[in-house]
């Protein structure tokens, strides 16, 4: 690669980053993962140049020109020149700049990964069938789907992914991990897995499958049935159990149907389980919270200028029966907004552990190369003004499932919810 080509790449990186910062000013995302079909054009870049002080812009360009010198030096002297890749340089340059913000929710997504992320929200993809998240510089398993290759292979919540097909996965983003793990139906992927509270690493070979993922389930994760139990081991028939895996386009309708089914079967209260729910679409999350509320504030969004955008509830549409929400350390983003909305309006109590603490609204800005940037454009607060980012939503009643309980398929968090609801019915 010649120096002119490299400089064009680097200037493109700079223009993209500055352009996104400019475009993000003054608006709030309408989805946690939105589809903004606009792209950066030369007109955008011209506006940026006009709006920035010329000397300041030249100073920025001079700073970034050092990257060109670094590349030229590598190209001339590095002992393994075949390892120097133009695309890798581009991606590393962008990601390095974004990581300096210390915000894991603002990221560059390459075209292939972005296409994959969009399929997630439509509810179908080919892979091993699990949601994933980040913890301590590793990608972890959050929630294997019922009947999926991941579940059949024995992968569990909290399992750490050490490598994928022999490639060290430390420091990977969830997008990169998903891109490596997914693939055509019938193909193999090999993972090295380290379970929670264990130093042992095991190798798991999985066969990818077509994964069709309803966002709502009536089956509890431990018992694998629609039955829930009280503290004496009796089946409880007048409390409806519903698990929300994520918030997708179809979730509001799925939830309405599930509640109607449970009420027709005699439910007098509901347990809504958002444990290991990583979030999803903001508008659908707000719609679902609104279903349970007749009035009050659902959430408060605060943008970079400290402007507040308050979302208020309208009359609830699904049920006025008592509700308990279950959450855990892997409940993130939209599931935290949902729990905080009902908790803050005294519509539900929350049982479980303090949630993950992902309290940002993220806009997706499509780029001209087919990739995108996920940009944190606002923080959202609870109805009472509590910060969620990094702090999470605190439960009203703390409860966790122990390892022994998991082995015995006894969900003590559900039992806590059942006993609470029995006391008020």
Write the pLDDT tens digit of every residue in 379-418: 999 999 999 999 999 999 999 987 777 666 789 999 999 9
In this model, does residue 35 exceed pLDDT 80?
no
Torsion sign (Cα): 123, 128, 131, 136: negative
**214-223, 279-288, 336-345: least confidently modelled range:** 214-223
**Could you check whether 124-212 and 216-424 share the same CATH topology?**
no
Q: Helices marked H in 250-297 — which ranges?
A: 251-264, 282-291
Degrees to nearest 5, angle at CA 216 with 400 and 358: 55
Residue 418 CB partners (closer than 8 Å, separation 6+): 228, 229, 230, 231, 236, 239, 271
Write the pLDDT tens digit of every residue in 267-281: 999 999 999 898 988
pLDDT band at 51 (very low <50, low <70, confident <90, very high): very low
Strand partners of residue 309: 301
User: What CATH superfamily classification does 216-424 receive?
Assistant: 2-enoyl-CoA Hydratase; Chain A, domain 1 (3.90.226.10)
- The two structure tokens encoding residue 314: 């309208």
- Could you tell me the residue ranges of all domains in the chain? 3-104, 124-212, 216-424
Q: Please choose, from the candidates 44, 46, 9, the residue with its C-alpha nearest in 3D space to the C-alpha of residue 25.
A: 44
Q: What is the pLDDT of residue 175?
A: 76
In this model, does residue 54 exceed pLDDT 70?
no
Q: What is the pLDDT of residue 237?
A: 95
pLDDT band at 9 (very low <50, low <70, confident <90, very high): very low
- 3-24 vs 42-51: helix crossing angle, rounded to 10: 80
Q: Decide if 330 contacts 130 (C-beta within 8 A).
A: no
Q: What is the pLDDT of residue 59?
A: 60
Write the pLDDT tens digit of every residue in 78-127: 898 888 887 777 778 887 888 888 887 888 887 877 776 666 555 567 89
Q: What is the pLDDT of residue 60?
A: 57
Going by DSSP bridges, is the β-strand pair 360-366/167-168 parallel, antiparallel, or unpaired? unpaired
Going by DSSP bridges, is the β-strand pair 201-207/130-135 parallel, antiparallel, or unpaired? unpaired
In this model, does residue 56 exceed pLDDT 70?
no
Phi and psi, residue 325, nearest 5°:
-105, 130
Q: What is the pLDDT of residue 322?
A: 98
How far apart, in whole angstroms, are the C-alpha atoms of residue 95 and residue 180?
18
Q: Decide if 177 contacts 160 (C-beta within 8 A).
A: no
How far apart, in whole angstroms, are the C-alpha atoms of residue 409 and residue 135?
26
Q: CA dist 238 to 222, 265, 358, Å?
A: 20, 8, 34
Q: Supply the pTM of this predicted model.
A: 0.67
How far apart, in whole angstroms, are the C-alpha atoms of residue 37 and residue 418?
46
Its CATH class, for the domain covering 124-212, is mainly beta
């Amino acid at each position: 690669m010649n120096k002119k080509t490299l400089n064009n790449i680097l200037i493109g990186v700079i223009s993209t980053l500055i352009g996104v910062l400019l475009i993000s000013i003054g608006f709030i995302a309408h989805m946690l993962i939105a589809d903004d079909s606009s792209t950066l054009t030369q007109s955008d870049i011209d506006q940026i140049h006009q709006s920035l002080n010329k000397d300041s812009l030249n100073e920025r360009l001079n700073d970034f020109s050092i990257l060109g010198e670094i590349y030229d030096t590598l190209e001339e002297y590095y002992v393994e020149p075949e390892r120097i890749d133009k695309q890798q340089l581009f991606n590393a340059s962008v990601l390095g700049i974004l990581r300096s913000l210390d915000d894991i929710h603002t990221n560059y997504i390459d075209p292939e990964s972005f296409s994959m992320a969009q399929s997630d929200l439509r509810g179908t993809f080919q892979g091993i069938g699990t949601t994933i998240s980040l913890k301590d510089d590793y990608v972890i398993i959050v929630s294997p789907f019922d009947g999926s290759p991941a579940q059949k292979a024995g992968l569990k919540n909290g399992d750490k992914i050490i490598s994928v097909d022999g490639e060290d996965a430390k420091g990977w983003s969830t997008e990169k991990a998903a891109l490596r793990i997914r693939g055509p139906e019938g193909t193999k992927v090999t993972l090295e897995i380290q379970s929670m509270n264990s130093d042992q690493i095991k190798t798991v070979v999985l066969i990818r499958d077509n994964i069709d993922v309803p966002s709502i389930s009536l089956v509890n994760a431990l018992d694998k049935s629609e039955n829930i139990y009280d503290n004496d081991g009796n089946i409880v028939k007048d409390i409806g159990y519903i698990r929300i895996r994520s918030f997708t386009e179809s979730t509001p309708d799925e939830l309405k149907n599930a509640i109607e089914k449970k009420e027709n079967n005699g439910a007098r209260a509901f347990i809504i389980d958002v444990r290991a729910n990583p979030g999803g679409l903001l508008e659908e999350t707000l719609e679902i919270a609104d279903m349970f509320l007749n009035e009050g504030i659902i959430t408060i969004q605060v943008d970079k200028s400290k402007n507040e955008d308050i979302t208020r509830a309208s009359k609830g549409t699904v049920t006025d029966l008592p509700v308990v929400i279950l959450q855990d350390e892997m409940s993130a983003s939209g599931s935290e907004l949902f729990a905080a909305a009902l908790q803050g309006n005294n519509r539900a109590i929350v049982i479980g552990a303090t949630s993950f603490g992902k309290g940002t609204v993220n806009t997706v800005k499509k780029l001209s190369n087919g990739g995108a940037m996920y940009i944190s454009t606002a923080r959202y607060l609870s109805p009472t003004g509590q910060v969620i980012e990094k702090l999470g939503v605190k439960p009203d009643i703390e409860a966790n499932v122990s390892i022994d309980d998991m082995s015995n398929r006894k969900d003590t968090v559900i039992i806590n919810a059942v006993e609470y609801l029995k006391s008020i019915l």
